[in-house]
Structures are given as C-alpha cells and as structure tokens.
Amino acid sequence: AVRASVPQLVWLATTPWVGERLDGLTLGSRLGPLRLGWVPAGVEGDAPVLTVHCEPCTLPLPPALGQPALHVPAAQLAISRDGGQHLKGALLLGAEGPDGGLRQAQPERETDRSHRTVISARWQARRAGPGWQATVDWPATPARDWLALLAPGLPELAAARIEGTVALHADVTLPPPAQGQGWRLAPRIEGLA
C-alpha cells in the first residue's frame, strides 16, 4: 500500500500520465459520489485540467458557520497546475441543467427557471508546509441565485422579488490548523432589497 497525503495525491492526480487514467472513474466518498474527468492541455487552456464532479454533494463547513454541512445538488472542482508548487481552477456549485451540463450564473439577467443556476468561483492555491494555502473568489452574483442554492426551500423564492448581488472572498488553509479556524470569509453585499 502507498501512503500519501491529500496534497500529494492532488499533485499526483494532476500529472498527465496519471490524470488521463483517472478519466471516467467514480469513487464513493463522505461528500457523495465523485466522478473524475480529464481535459487535455490545449482544450481549455495551456494546462491539462482534472475535474471532480460530485452529485449530490455534502460539503463540510467550519463549526463557526453554525451548521455542519452545506448540501448542494451538484459541485464541480476543476484543478490545473500553475507553475512549480501552485494550483488553480474553478469551483462550481449548483445543479445540472436539462442538457446535462453545469451552467454559470448570469449576473445581468433573472435566473432562467428551466434550469438551476450554478454559482462559480475562481481559486488558486500554493503549497504551504504539509498542505495548501488557498484563495477563492466568487464574483458579484445575484442574491436570488445564492438563496436558491443555500436555501432552496425558502417560500419567498417563489414569489418575492429579490434584488442585489453577493460576492465573496475566502482564504483557506488545508488541512485546517490544529489551533485556529484555518479560514477567513469576506462577503460583499450590494443593493440587497
């Protein structure tokens, strides 16, 4: 048996000769079923991309947020190498549309009811000791889309007109330190009505 940390496994999985062999593999996990994909270099940029799709997905949350987990219909993480000891990519939270593809939120329009909007973020990470120091940036996205994702059973979503945008910036240490919370969240809310 080979023993490796999560950062070592992620680094290995983003190596082309390993990533290609992971394409199409589905693994069971505490988050939900994880389906791995591989996009060769030149298709979506200069670097190859490892994708991890989870549907449905249960994402653990820090205790300070008041609930143990966030349940989302689907989540997808895209991971590519960015230089020597850096990673970058996208994080999509939401559900699949009727054509089976994840869709990004369109800040300039109302959410189309024919599919559930996906909220996207860009992220980057650098090696920091035994783990990673990551930053995640969600651009200004309609508050209605955030509520639909975070509180899908909210009765007001069906009838109320919800305006405004929410943007988020997060700094995360993975794995979290033994002392302290290992994350910082900075929301920016505009025009909420």
pLDDT tens for 68-82 read 888 888 999 999 998
149 inside domain: yes
Q: Does the pLDDT of residue 109 top 50, yes or no?
A: no
Question: Is 101 or 75 the better-scoring residue by pLDDT?
Answer: 75
Of 11-15, 48-52, 120-124, 154-158, the poorest mean pLDDT is in 154-158
Query: Could you give the number of structural domains in the chain?
Result: 1
57 inside domain: yes
25 inside domain: yes
Q: For all residues of the chain together, what is the average pLDDT?
A: 84
- Taking only the tens place, the pLDDT of each residue in 142-188 is 998 888 888 877 888 878 888 999 999 999 988 777 776 788 899 99
CA distance 15 to 87: 12
CA atoms within 13 A on the CB side of 172: 14
Q: Does the pLDDT of residue 51 top 90, yes or no?
A: yes
Q: Please give the residue range of the domain that contains residue 110.
A: 6-190
1 inside domain: no
pLDDT the model gives residue 106: 42
CA distance 66 to 124: 26
92 inside domain: yes
Of 16-30, 55-69, 108-122, the poorest mean pLDDT is in 108-122
The residues facing 77 across adjacent strands are: 52, 91
73 inside domain: yes
The whole-number average pLDDT for the span 109-132 is 75
Cβ contacts of 34 within 8 Å, gap of 6 or more: 26, 27, 28, 52, 53, 54
The pTM assigned to this predicted structure is: 0.82
61 inside domain: yes
Q: Does the pLDDT of residue 54 top 90, yes or no?
A: yes
147 inside domain: yes
